[in-house]
Amino acid sequence: MIFLKYTCDRCQLEAPYWHRARIYQLADEITCPLLGERVWCNDCNTLRSAERFPPSDYLQEKIGRLQGGELTDREMEFISLLEMSKEERIAELLQKAMTHLKWLENRQSPPRCLECGSTNFVRIPERWDVVDDYFEHPGCGGTFHQTMQSFAREIGIPVYDAEGNRLNDF
Ligand SMILES: [Zn+2]
Ligand SMILES: [Zn+2]
């Protein structure tokens, strides 16, 4: 995972931020990737990741593609690794994508902070296109600048239920 640290130029507060993989544990033991985005959580009062729901168009297109028997190069790559036939791989991905779409359609609560579960947060879009990634410190008036970046080894994948509640402590 990538670890970033931001420091406010006015109050000197340090806000750590982790880019890491997370998953949903959905029905029938199926897991789906959880997309996170950078937010300022008003309940944690710091920088966090919150859920970002995938567009249903994206999932519908993926389902259509798989039903047509098409795999992307990346999906093909895993076939030999997993010792699966192409048909088995398609069936597996299709089941996952359909579960993912059904989850999206049935989801009740709005996106949650992935640390505390709050829905009270402000999005801070990530800026990959600029050298200095900065943003306002809400309620302070200062500006956070990135002051550290490093890689850290994953100790485990955080798992969440269908409503974005955390199921483990990783
Ligand atoms: Zn500040
Ligand atoms: Zn929070």
Distance from the CA of 112 to the center of ligand 2, in angstroms?
8
| Burial class (CB within 10 angstroms; exposed 0-12, middle 13-18, buried 19+) of 74 | exposed
What local confidence, expressed as pLDDT, does residue 1 receive? 87
pLDDT per residue as tens digits for the range 67-87: 999 999 988 888 888 888 999
Asked which of 13-22, 37-46, 77-86, 109-118 is least confident by mean pLDDT, the reply is 77-86
Mean pLDDT score across all residues of the chain: 92
Nearest ligand, CA 140? 1
Q: What is the pTM of this model?
A: 0.87
Angle between helices 56-67 and 86-106 (to 10 degrees): 150
Token pair, residue 142, equals 């200062």
Distance from the CA of 51 to the center of ligand 2, in angstroms?
11
What local confidence, expressed as pLDDT, does residue 29 receive? 80
What local confidence, expressed as pLDDT, does residue 10 receive? 97
Inform me whether the pLDDT recorded for 60 exceeds 90.
Answer: yes
Nearest ligand, CA 45? 2
Distance from the CA of 40 to the center of ligand 2, in angstroms?
8
Distance from the CA of 130 to the center of ligand 2, in angstroms?
27
Cα radius of gyration (the chain): 19
CA distance 111 to 88: 33
Instruction: Say if residues 95 and 30 touch (Cβ distance below 8 Å).
Output: yes
What local confidence, expressed as pLDDT, does residue 162 receive? 95
Count of CB atoms situated within 10 Å of the CB of 160 = 22
At 93, give phi and psi (nearest 5°).
Answer: -65, -35
- Say what percent of the chain tops pLDDT 70: 98
| Burial class (CB within 10 angstroms; exposed 0-12, middle 13-18, buried 19+) of 20 | middle
Ranges of each domain in the chain = 2-160
Q: pLDDT-based confidence at 5, cuts 50/70/90?
A: very high
